[in-house]
Amino acid sequence: MAALSEVEGHDSSEVKLSMNPILGVKNLTKKFGGFTAADDISFNLFEGEILGLLGPNGAGKTTIIQMLLGVMEPTAGVIQYFGKNFKKYREEILKQVNYSSTYISLPWLFTVAESLEFFARLYEVDDRKKKITKLVAEFEIENLYHKQYYMLSAGEKTRVLLAKAFLNYPKIILLDEPTASLDVEIAVKVREFLKKEKSQYNVSMLFTSHNMAEVEEMCDRVIILKSGKIIAEDKPENLAKKITACQVELVITDDAQKAESFLTAKKVPFEKDRFRFIVSLEEKNIADFLVLLTAEKIAYEEISINKPDLEDYFLKMIELKT
Amino acid sequence: MINVNRVKAMLLRYAYNMRHSFDRLTDMFYWPAMDLLIWGLTGFYFIKSSAEFSSLLFVILSGLIFWLVVWRTQYEITTNMLSEIWDKNIVNIFASPLKISEWIAAFMVFGITKMFISLTFSSILAFVLFKLNVFLYGFYLIPLIVNLILTGWAAGFFVAGFLVRFGNTIQTLAWAGVYLIAPFSAIFYPITILPTWAQKISQFVPSSYVFEGIREILFTGHLSTDKIIASLALNLIYLILSICFFTFMFHKSRKLGLGRLIQ
């Protein structure tokens, strides 16, 4: 695994986790004819780490997850779990891996109890009754236990899928939008559960989500994909820091015309919506800017300063980088 | 190595499916019963019309009952395979340690189980309604049924190979595919009535030897072992080829991604 820990783009010094790459992906490529869905993807997932996989639709997230699950064959590249080649040790590896996705389903006519029983048997879970009871309580699906899958709401289905994903005490779990379609309260509980699994059992997770706040909260590290390629990889807070400009939002009513002339003259980038000005400034220049406004006798009624976050970085990356 | 626990899990999965599906539960009884009634009564009518047709009733009923073995064993493979696509479950099962050999084993065992239930039901019905006792075939029943099971499996895996590659866009093959061999199997009539070109095809259809054998037993009380051996040899070749084909098509499908089958 020495070679895989040196995979391009991964700054191992940044990750304060166990240094054992539990999943190593090197030069993973998937081509469909002339179209490249995943292009030379390399990354590591470490023990106890939550790694976010972000990208717009069509970026290659699902393709990568399918290859990591063994339900799609890569055109090129190597996948190693626990230091073992996935292709060679598929059966042994998949006993310790599981996944959940909003885009899949469980057998339509099965009750929740039957689905969990079936998958527990498929994964040969020894204490399956105990494990099922525990997960059913964790995901608050006791009242759904004897309901058929097709009768559940989208949020209920997501919870059942998550319970299925934790049946086999996985060491690695791949979560494709795990909290999509959950209401806020349940989503919070699910995130707490995932954090607990990580801290108590050192479970590693590969996590995709369109909710950037959730990714910032959950992920130790983030990979951003665009057109099948990795375009950025770092801790969420480090990625956000790469955007230095803050958004200063001012409400100026009496001196709006004056403020507009001033900003234009000073060549400060801004957006204006009637009396609301959004000015982009480096954090260190905000104090000087406000002093200048006061000196120009431009009064503002409201002010708010928005620091850049992962979403700003993500939007910038997917718009600008090709 | 096949993991028996995972095969059992898959059997449980298909048993749950059957429990919840009225179609899957009733098709073991409804269609065989309807076939027996309609064709049994038709045969009965012929007998009453002319003494020439005295053996026709048993020929038809035997054909119906034994064709059920082929139909049921192939149908359980193709429809259970399709159920993983309909239920969007195929990614779930192959993201687990399940191997294709275990999936194949589960199809075979489940198909045989349902086939025996259906066969028992049809045999009892044929006895009650038309006094046909399938045990009149004695120990010949074993090689006859074994051969027909092998034919059903071979047809099932061949069709399932297309289904796993192309998905539910060609799902009609799941229930109609096996009928391609039915005319050449000579289920109700001797091979000699087929045109010469069709007779040549029949020589390569293992079930044709079985149905010829059934009529031989009915008319002479004996079964020539040549027929059984020819059928068995063809069946073994076809079964091996069909499983290889199914596995090959599965890997072709996995190359493109099993996820696309459920989109």
Domain contains A271: yes
Residue A86 banded pLDDT, cuts 50, 70, 90: very high
**For residue A6, what pLDDT is reported?**
38
Q: Which residues of B touch A (CB under 8 A)?
A: 3, 5-6, 8-10, 12-13, 16-17, 20-21, 83, 86-99, 251, 254-259, 262
- The verdict on a CB contact (< 8 Å) between A124 and B5 is yes
CB hemisphere CA count around A322 (13 angstroms):
0
Residues B48-83: pLDDT tens digits?
877 667 788 889 999 999 999 999 999 999 999 999
Count, residues in chain A: 322
Q: What is the ipTM of this complex?
A: 0.90
> Of the ranges A2-16, A113-127, A296-310, which one carries the lowest mean pLDDT score?
A2-16
Which of B44-53, B101-110, B125-134 has the highest average model confidence (pLDDT)? Answer: B101-110
Partner B, chain A 90-129, Cβ-Cβ below 8 Å:
90-92, 94-95, 97-99, 103-110, 114, 117-119, 121-124
* pLDDT exceeds cutoff 60 at A49: yes
**What are the extents of the domains in chain B?**
4-262
- The verdict on a CB contact (< 8 Å) between B95 and A119 is no
Domain contains A259: yes
Residue A175 banded pLDDT, cuts 50, 70, 90: very high
Q: How many CB pairs under 8 A join A and B?
A: 99
Residue A320 banded pLDDT, cuts 50, 70, 90: low
**For residue A13, what pLDDT is reported?**
39
Domain contains A74: no
* pLDDT exceeds cutoff 90 at A305: no
Q: How many domains does chain A have?
A: 1
Range of the domain at A315: 243-320
CATH number of the domain residue A305 falls in:
3.30.70.980
Domain contains A278: yes
Please list the residues that pair with A229 across neighbouring strands: A226
To the nearest whole Å, the CA of B1 is away from the closest chain A CA by: 11
For residue B22, the chain A residue with the least C-alpha distance is: A109
* pLDDT exceeds cutoff 70 at A18: no
> Of the ranges A283-292, B99-108, B117-126, which one carries the lowest mean pLDDT score?
A283-292
Q: What is the pTM of this model?
A: 0.86
Domain contains A309: yes
Domain contains A299: yes
For the residues B146-175, what does the mean pLDDT come to? 95
> Of the ranges B30-44, B119-133, B247-261, which one carries the lowest mean pLDDT score?
B30-44
- The verdict on a CB contact (< 8 Å) between A107 and B16 is yes
